[in-house]
Each structure stands twice: as C-alpha cells, then as structure tokens.
Amino acid sequence: MHWSGEEYVLAFTGALFLAIVVASFSRRFSMSAGSRASFLSGAVVGVASAVVLGDVDDVVYPLFIWGLPVVPLIIIGFLVRDALAWQPAADAATILAGDEADAGVPRRAAFFPPADHPQSADVGGGGEVRRKAADPDSSPQELAEIAFAHPAARTAVAHNPATPANVLEWLATQDDPAVLSAIGARVGASAAH
C-alpha cells in the first residue's frame, strides 16, 4: 500500500473529526448527540477513504481535497473559543443581584426553553433525571433541558455547581420557593468563601 499526499490529507481530516468527537465528551464542550454522530461519520469517512483509496492505482483527486482539513480546523477553533469562555458556575450573588455596572442596561434572557420541547408530565422526574440534575459532570445543555422539562428536579439543578448562570437566571424567574432557596443557599455559600 502506497499512499499519496491526498490519502494523507483524507486521513488527517478524519483524525481531526475524531479529535472533535473525543473532545465533545468533556464538560467544556457541550455537543448534541446528533452533532457528535455527524463528526464521527466524518472521521470514519475520512480515514476509511484514505485506506480504501490507498490500495487503488491511478486515482484522480479533485483539487478541493487539499482544503478539506480547513472544515474541522474551523470547528475546532470555535470549540476552543467556547471552552476558553466556559465557566462551570457563576457566582449566584451576581446572578440574582446583577452587576452594578449593568444596572441601567436592560437584560435579555440568555436561556430560552426550546419551543419544540413539550413540558413533561413527569411530576417527580425519574431517578435518572434526578441523578443527572445533581451530577456536577452533567453538561450545561443537559441541565437546561432538565430544568425546563422536569419542574420537580429544578431544585437539584439549582444546587448543582455546574448549572450555568443563564439557567439559574431563568430558574429564578419561575417563582418556586424551593428553587429560590437553593439559589439563595448558593449565594450564602459563595459569600462564606
């Protein structure tokens, strides 16, 4: 088997897509299962194409093959940018009180529940839901979805240190005394440190 430069480019592109998939399992890189599956498909296609075409003689590649690695590199750039801006949990006092510098600036909600996600009839949230709501390794997206779809699990989401500030802001608008108490406990805990 003799590989040309194009096969190496295909294999490198596949490896970059695989790196994206591996990174997506970190809490810093929130990614849907569909996106993860798409990038995994890109990895398989890139590497498999390189292996199969490495055995074929006289393959004529289009010129754009040399530009393929740019696609996963751009995606990696966005992931790195988001990872650098990621904060596991904001100070709850800042969430409830707001920054004094922003006092005159109207705030817009950073979290809107998905319109196509029906409200769950599951009052208590299953054991798996409650475990995910309390798990500090749950992704921000998972915590946001649990907070919206499972009202009984909102207190656990509010206690979770991995819950992002925008979800806590939304939870505070729901006027649930237990949730407000959980957010208040976070404020007290952060003030004590």
Residue 118 reports pLDDT greater than 70: no
Task: Please state, as a whole number, how many other Cβ atoms lie within 10 Å of the Cβ of residue 159.
Answer: 18
Helix/strand/coil (H/E/C) assignment for every residue in the chain: CCCCHHHHHHHHHHHHHHHHHHHCCCCCCCCCHHHHHHHHHHHHHHHHHHHHHHCCCCCCCCHHHHHCCHHHHHHHHHHHHHHHHCCCCCCHHHHHHCCHHHCCCCCCCCCCCCCCCCCCCCCCCCHHHHHHHHCCCCCHHHHHHHHHHCHHHHHHHHHCCCCCHHHHHHHHCCCCHHHHHHHHHHHHHHHHC
- Region 85-111: what's the mean pLDDT? 47
Mean pLDDT for the stretch of residues 26-48 = 87
125: CB partners within 8 A, 6+ apart: 133, 146, 150, 152, 153
The 10 Å Cβ neighbour count of residue 41 is 12
Q: What is the pTM of this model?
A: 0.48
Confidence of residue 46 (pLDDT cuts 50, 70, 90): very high
pLDDT confidence band for 25 (50 / 70 / 90): confident
Looking at residue 92, what is its pLDDT? 44
Average pLDDT, integer, range 22-38:
82
Give me the residue spans of the domains in the chain.
5-85, 92-192
- Asked if the model's pLDDT at residue 115 lies above 90, the reply is no
